Amino acid sequence: MAFRSLAAVALLTLLSSCGDGVTPRDALNRVAGKPVLTIQLDGDDPSASYGLLQRSGEPLRFSVGQGRYGIACAGSRFQEGVTPLGRFRVNAILSDDRFEMDPELVESSGKSEDELRSTLFRNMNSIDFKGDGETGEYGNGYISLEPVPPSDQPFEFNSYDGTFRWYSFAIHGSNDQNRIGQAVTGGCINAGRFTMDVLVERLKLGDQVEIASNTPCLSASDP
């Protein structure tokens, strides 16, 4: 009976995905809890780091940027400038045209979903993090990620320089395309404008993302 139920869910998922360009393999991966997106980091040569998204036709392979202070081992607590490895789950998708967020996150914000939909990404992208007058550092999209399994993390709604925001580990765009393929971020993964357009359109809440590296990672005991 359990097998029949799983098969029925898989069939429904496959049928519902036919119209949005998702491959049957991608739909089955979602049912099975397998990563829909994989990111391979190279600590020695950040320009060789890449992401791979399965989609109809050819898979989308794209360059990514990573943390300026290194790569942390799976299960690490997120810290400034360090990109963590491991399995993650999409819990929010933010852009000018799309707002999706886990209901428990919406509730924890203290604001209505309509208010978050209309203001959150715009507010976040208005922050001048470097104090140099430049804004738009999240580019054209922000895909929030939480560890799988859940672990203690500093992710929260808070205010930065008086601006309300959602703070988390994420894949996001950039206001400087030259940063893609470099180890210059605050710990998040960044990607180019075209890539973010595709990711924002194709990814769904609950999708799993695998981040790996072919170079040693920093453990919690490392200085």
Q: What is the CATH number of the domain that holds 126?
A: 2.40.440.10
Structural contact between residues 211 and 75, judged by C-beta atoms closer than 8 angstroms = no
Of the segments 31-35, 139-143, 214-218, which one has the largest average pLDDT value?
A: 139-143
Structure tokens at 171: 């894949």
Q: What is the pLDDT of residue 58?
A: 84
Examine the pLDDT at 3 and tell me if it is beyond 60.
no
Domain that includes residue 182, residue range: 35-213
Whether 193 and 206 share a structural domain: yes
When pLDDT is averaged across residues 169-189 and rounded to a whole number, the result is 96
Q: Are residues 25 and 109 in the same domain?
A: no
Within a domain: residue 1?
yes
Q: How many domains does the chain have?
A: 2
Are 15 and 69 part of one and the same domain?
no
Whole-number pLDDT of residue 133: 86
Would you say residue 2 has pLDDT above 70? Answer: no
Q: What is the pLDDT of residue 130?
A: 82
Per-residue pLDDT, 198? 96
Q: Are residues 96 and 178 in the same domain?
A: yes
Please give the C-alpha separations between residue 198 and each of 68, 175, 184, 221, in angstroms, as whole numbers. Answer: 25, 17, 23, 37
pTM metric for this prediction: 0.86
pLDDT band for position 180 (cuts 50, 70, 90): very high
Tens of pLDDT, residue by residue over 49-101, are: 999 998 777 889 999 999 999 999 999 999 999 999 999 999 999 999 999 99
Spatial distance between the Cα atoms of 169 and 172, rounded to a whole number of angstroms: 9
